Structure 1
C-alpha cells in the first residue's frame, strides 16, 4: 500500500481544532447511543431488555473496535495542547486532576450509585430501597452480591484518562532535549506506510496475546489489554499532535482509510456469521478487527480535519455540554430501561423512551450544572470566576 503525502490546509494540530471538537462530540454521542444499544443486545449488561434483539449486535460490532480508542487519541491531542498552555508538569497534573478526579469521585459517590442498585434489583439479588442501599450497602468495598461495590462503571474512562495524564506529566518533566528526541523518534517511526501498519500490528498482538489471557476488566490495575490499546491511543495522540508529516498523510489518505475500514468490517462480519471457531478464523478476525479499528480512526481524523474545520454556536455549546452528558447518560439509560422493562413495554417503546429520556435528562443535568458555579466541577466543567456570565455564556473549554 502506497500512501500519498501532500500538504493540506491543516498540517498539525496547532490552534483550536474545530474538526477534532466535532469528532469528539460525535464520538461521545456515539458512545451514548452505543450504551442504549447495550440494553437490547445479549452481551450481559447491567440491565437488559426482556427480549433482546440479535440484529442490533451488528452495527455495534462495527463501532466497538474503534469508538473508545478514538476518544483516547483525541484526549491525547488535547492534552498536548494543554501542555503548551500550562507552565509546568506540576500545573498540568494539577489541572488534569481537578478536571478529572473531582467528577470521577463525585460520580462514584453520587451519579453512578443508582446503576448497581437497578442491576441488583433486576437480577433479584436485592430488595431494599435505593436510599438504604446507598447508606448501608453501596460502600461495602467488596462483591458479596456478585457486583463490585462501590464502582465507577462507565466512568472508568475518566479514571484511565487521569492515570495516563499523570504519566504524561512525568514525561513533561523530562529535559527538553529528551522530549525532543522522543518526538523525533515518533516522527520517524510513524511515517509513510508504517503509520498504517505498525499500529495495526500492535493491535493484533494485543487482541491475540493479551485479550485471551487477561480479558478487559476496566479495573485500572489488572487490565493490561486495555492499557495496551487505550494507553497506546492516548500517547499516540500526544505525539501525533505535533507530527506534521503524520497529519499530512492522514489528511491525504482518509478516503483510503475509510475504504479499508469498510472492507475489514465486512470480513469481520463474514467470519462472525460463519460461526467459525478455528485458530485461523480467530486470528483472521483479530486482524480484521485491528484493521477496522485503526483505519476507521485515521479515516475519521482525516475527514474531520479536512471537512469539519469550522466553528459555530452549536459546536461551542456541545463542546461544553458533552462531558456532563457523558457523566449522566448511563444512569438515565439504566433507570429508564429498568422501569420500562418492568412495565412490559415493547422494544420500540423502550428504545424511544430511553432515547428521549436520556437526551432530556442529560440536557437538564448540563443546564443545571452550568448555572451553579460550585456544581460545575462535579460535572467536569471549569469554574467561572465571573458568576454573572454562567447563564449567558454557553461554552467554556470542556476538554
Structure 2
C-alpha cells in the first residue's frame, strides 16, 4: 500500500500495487462462488462455479506475499527522505489511522449485510476483517525500522555490497527463498493460503516486507535479474502449478507451495519491471484510488452479492456482474465521496 515517493519514481512498482489489489478484489469475489466460502463468512451464490477455482488456486499462493514485498519496497523509497521519527509518524497516519477507522466503521458494514442476508442477529465484535493486512504492516514498520535505518547508515558497508552481489545472480534469489521455505516447514500451517490473522500470514509477510526493502536497498541488481530471467521464473512456476493441479490434485506440501509462490512473484516482478515502468494518466489515477478501494471493497462486494446472487442468470454472468458492481461502486465512492470530502481523506490514507 505504500507510496514509492522518490525523485526517480518507479512507475512499475505503482503498477504492481494496483494490479495486486485488483487481483485481490477478483479473488474475494470468486470466493462467493465456492462451496467453502460460507465457512469464512462470505455470502454464497445459489450454485457453485468451481471452474474459476483453477486460476484462483494458482493466484492464491502469491497474491498476499507480493503485496508485502511491494510494501517493503515502498518503505525503502520513503526512508530516503525521512528520519526514523518522520517515518513512524507518516506510517501511523497512512496505515494505523485507516486501520483503526476501518475496523470501527468499514468492516462492520459487510458483516451487517451478511447477518441481514442470512437472518442473523445484528451484532458486531471489533475485528480487523480484511484490514488485517494494514495491522501487520504497521507492526512490521515498528519491528524492522531500526534494522532498516542501520542499513541506511551503512549504505556502503559490507552488508550492502553482499546484497548487491547476491541479487545480481538468479541463484541469489534461490537463497532468498530459503527463509520462506523454513517458515513453511517450521510454522507448517494447516492451509498455506490462509494468511489472515495467522502466524503463517504474519511471518511470511514479515519476510516479504524485509526482502522487499532489501531488493530496493541493494540497488539495480534485483530489477535487472528478474527482468532477464522472468520467463524462466514463470515457466518454473507454471510447471510447479501444473504438477500440483494435475498430479497432486492441489494437495501439496507447504514447502512446495512456498517455492512455487516465490517463482510466481519473481516472474511477475520481471514482467512488470520490463513493460510497465512508464507514467500514464490511468496509473496516476489508480495509484491514488487503490488504497481507498482496498479499504471499502468488501462492503460493496457483499452488497453486490445480495443484489446479484438471487438473479436467475448464468453463474458466469453473475461473476462478471459482481466484478463490475464492486469495482465501479468502489471507484465512484472514491471519486465523489472519499476524494472530495476533505475530513475523510486521512481515514483512507490520503493527504489533505
Q: TM-score, normalised by structure 1?
A: 0.78
**1-structure distance, mates of 2:116, 2:92:** 34
Q: Where in structure 2 are there 5+ consecutive unaligned residues?
A: 1-5
Instruction: Provide the secondary structure at the position in 2 that maps to 1:374.
Output: helix
Residues 1:377 and 2:352 aligned together? no
Query: Computing the radius of gyration over CA atoms, which structure comes out larger, 1 or 2?
Result: 1
Alpha-carbon RMSD: 2.5
The residue correspondences of 1:192-271 to structure 2 (distance < 5 A) are 192-212=169-189, 216=194, 218-219=196-197, 223-243=198-218, 244-271=220-247
Residue equivalent to 1:389: none
CA gap of 1:205–1:270, structure 2 versus 1, over 3 A, is farther
Number of residues of Structure 1 aligned to a counterpart in Structure 2 = 340
Alpha-carbon displacement from aligned partner over 1:306-325 (angstroms, at most 9, x marks no partner): 21111111110111111111
Task: Tell me how far 1:217 sits from its aligned partner.
Answer: 6.1
Q: 1:53 aligns with which of 49, 52, 56?
A: 49
More helix by share: 2
Residue equivalent to 1:154: 130
Decide which moves more: 92-101 or 337-346.
337-346
Alpha-carbon displacement from aligned partner over 1:322-365 (angstroms, at most 9, x marks no partner): 11111111111112213434566652453233222212211122
Residue equivalent to 1:300: 268
Task: Tell me how far 1:168 sits from its aligned partner.
Answer: 3.0
CA gap of 1:102–1:53, structure 2 versus 1, over 3 A, is same
Q: TM-score, normalised by structure 2?
A: 0.87
Residue equivalent to 1:96: 91
The answer to whether the 8 A contact 2:16-2:272 is kept is: yes
Alpha-carbon displacement from aligned partner over 1:17-53 (angstroms, at most 9, x marks no partner): 1111112111111111111111111233322222122
Residues 1:118 and 2:94 aligned together? no
Task: Tell me how far 1:120 sits from its aligned partner.
Answer: 3.4
Q: 1:79 aligns with which of 71, 75, 78?
A: 75
Instruction: Provide the secondary structure at the position in 2 that maps to 1:113.
Output: helix
Q: 1:362 aligns with which of 306, 327, 330?
A: 330
CA gap of 1:79–1:180, structure 2 versus 1, over 3 A, is farther
